A = this chain, B = another copy of it.
Amino acid sequence: MSQKAEYHNLDKPDDGLLRELAPGLTTRIFAGEHAMLSVVTIAPNAEGVMHSHPEEQWGVLLEGSAIRFQGGEEIAVKKGDFWRTPGNVPHTMRAGAEGCRVLDIFSPPRAEYKKAGSGFGAS
């Protein structure tokens, strides 16, 4: 079977399953068997909603800067920083003045993100 369908691009706006996470936070989701990628764009100064889920998460700051809120701590992150968020640890982000882009990785894939919808789909 051809592998061509397995290739994507971070900047292709119609690639992936689009989801609005919160006002100013949109993402494109790519589900695999064991891992799921989510290419998130956060508008300048926009902020998500504190939430948690049992799935492990990793984030990579692709562009811009942000404050990462995780496990009761606030950590300033800039392009090139990445982090792990263990399952069930509450987390969210607030973009800096120029906005940011984040590659989120979930393992296992988050069931709520396999279908169309909006929001963080978690407590």
Contact = CB atoms under 8 A, between A and B. Distances in A.
A118 to B, nearest CB: 24
A87 B34 CA distance: 10
A80 to B, nearest CB: 4
Contact of A82 (B8, B58, B77, B85): B8
Counting chain A residues whose Cβ lies within 8 A of the other chain, the interface size class is 35 or more
A33 to B, nearest CB: 5
B73 A3 contact: yes
Interface string A1-39: 111101111110000000000000000001011110100
A34 B60 contact: no
B83 A7 contact: yes
A107 interface: yes
Given A3-B71, A56-B32, A37 B82 contact: yes
Interface of A: 1-4, 6-11, 30, 32-35, 37, 55-56, 58, 60, 68, 70-71, 73, 75, 77, 80-87, 89, 103, 105, 107-108
27 contacts: A1-B71, A3-B85, A3-B89, A4-B73, A6-B85, A7-B68, A7-B75, A7-B77, A7-B81, A7-B83, A8-B81, A8-B83, A9-B80, A9-B81, A10-B60, A11-B80, A30-B84, A32-B56, A32-B86, A33-B56, A33-B87, A34-B56, A34-B107, A35-B56, A35-B105, A60-B60, A107-B108
